[in-house]
Amino acid sequence: MSNGGQGISQGGFLAVLWVLAGLATVLFLGRLLVRSALLNSFHADDLFGALAWFFMIVTIILATVSNPLSYKSSSILVGESPMPPPAELVDITITLRKWNVAGQTLFWTRLYCVKLSFMFLYRMVFGRQRNHRLVWTLVLVYIILTYGICLISVFSQCGDVRHLFQYEECMTPYVASLDSKLVWVDYFFNVTSDLTLVIIPMPIIWRLNMHVNQKLAVTAICSLALITIAFETVRTCKLHTQNFTLTNLYSYLELLVAVLIGMLPSYRFLVSPSDKDREYRRLFWSRITLRGNYSNSSVYSMQNLSRGQANQSNHAGHERTSHP
């Protein structure tokens, strides 16, 4: 079966997408179960995690519907199928561009929902420390601005937005040159926003009164964004040298992996050796198996852990001030 230059058959492409989407759905439902069992409530990071999952499902549905046309277009580009009449080629190109604009908009929206989920998780960990809150706010503003820039590039790929769905105006040398530049603009702002997600929690983590192994484990969780950076790098290099239609697999893999990564922090307590996380595990399994009665005084919460971590950081800061 022809793969249309995409390196994978139509059936294989959709199988990969739906298997990973199914795994992300299982992790998302598990996240809801964990949060409801341990916190009895949901927070802003859960909201953005849910939005990321929802936009992921919508995107995969769009990919499934547009997949035959995408493979038809790519097979024409690589010469596996004969060139259709001009009118049909124009119709294929414009229809596919409409699908792609919707898909790219969802691509960036879902990716940034994952980033905002991490940001609001960090906000709970930072607590009420003024300096950390200021840094958090500045990073949040930067992430929102980079999202806006990436969206602008989606609607500026043909220069004037009025030409977005006009065949002749989008096939000029100027547009080809513009697109090659926009690819790297998107890469820069996407990667730098990911790097800020990796960097900002590190000072807090390494000032906590925790065993080094625990600090390394939390650092690893906060560094998961490096995986999406690797996918983004591969995708961008492919986009720079190939037509957008030929890089679909890389784009969807980046998004699906990003959503999967966004769900993982909720499961840290299942593998952590700390006393608090052992208590979380005991409480979690007791609640989902409906065993035992718990009063309010016996319930641990992630917010309490965050406050404790913040208090540890503040206490360490007071000690350093008192004992130069």
Residue with tokens 């690589």: 78
Query: Is 90 exceeded by the pLDDT of residue 292?
Result: no
Highest mean pLDDT pick, 30-44, 47-61, 304-318: 47-61
Nearest to 111 by CA among 46, 44, 55: 55
Residue with tokens 């499902």: 57
Q: What is the pLDDT of residue 144?
A: 95
Identify the weakest region by mean pLDDT among 102-116, 207-221, 257-271: 207-221
pLDDT in tens, 72-92: 888 887 777 888 898 998 898
Residue 28 CA to residue 9 CA, distance in Å, equals 28
Give the pTM. 0.79
Residue 169 CA to residue 160 CA, distance in Å, equals 9
- Dihedral Cα 119, 122, 126, 131, nearest 10 deg: -30
- Residues whose CB falls within 8 Å of the CB of residue 175, separated by 6 or more in sequence, listed in order: 157, 158, 159, 169
Per-residue pLDDT, averaged over 272-284, amounts to 75
Residue with tokens 């439902």: 29
- Residues whose CB falls within 8 Å of the CB of residue 111, separated by 6 or more in sequence, listed in order: 190, 228, 254, 255, 258
Query: Is 70 exceeded by the pLDDT of residue 294?
Result: no
Query: Is 90 exceeded by the pLDDT of residue 189?
Result: yes
Query: Is 70 exceeded by the pLDDT of residue 244?
Result: no
Per-residue pLDDT, averaged over 253-267, amounts to 85
Q: What is the pLDDT of residue 201?
A: 80
Per-residue pLDDT, averaged over 268-295, amounts to 70
Residue with tokens 């513009």: 178
Nearest to 107 by CA among 228, 240, 286: 228
Distances (CA, A) of 253 to 14, 52, 182, 188, 231: 11, 14, 21, 19, 8
Residue 210 pLDDT level (bands cut at 50, 70, 90): low
Query: Is 70 exceeded by the pLDDT of residue 242?
Result: no
Query: Is 60 exceeded by the pLDDT of residue 310?
Result: no
**235 or 158, higher pLDDT:** 158
Per-residue pLDDT, averaged over 7-22, amounts to 88
Q: What is the pLDDT of residue 243?
A: 54
Q: What is the pLDDT of residue 24?
A: 93
Q: What is the mean pLDDT of the chain?
A: 80
Per-residue pLDDT, averaged over 213-239, amounts to 78
Distances (CA, A) of 67 to 11, 87, 248: 10, 21, 10
Residue 151 pLDDT level (bands cut at 50, 70, 90): very high
Residue 31 CA to residue 313 CA, distance in Å, equals 28
**What are the backbone dihedrals phi and psi of residue 78, each rounded to the nearest 5 degrees, phi first?**
-90, 0
Question: Which domains occur in the chain, in start order?
Answer: 10-276 (1.20.1070)
Identify the weakest region by mean pLDDT among 9-13, 192-196, 303-307: 303-307
Q: Kindly state the percentage of the chain with pLDDT values over 70.
A: 81
Q: What is the pLDDT of residue 305?
A: 43
Give the angle 89-95-101 at the CA atoms, nearest 5°.
Answer: 130
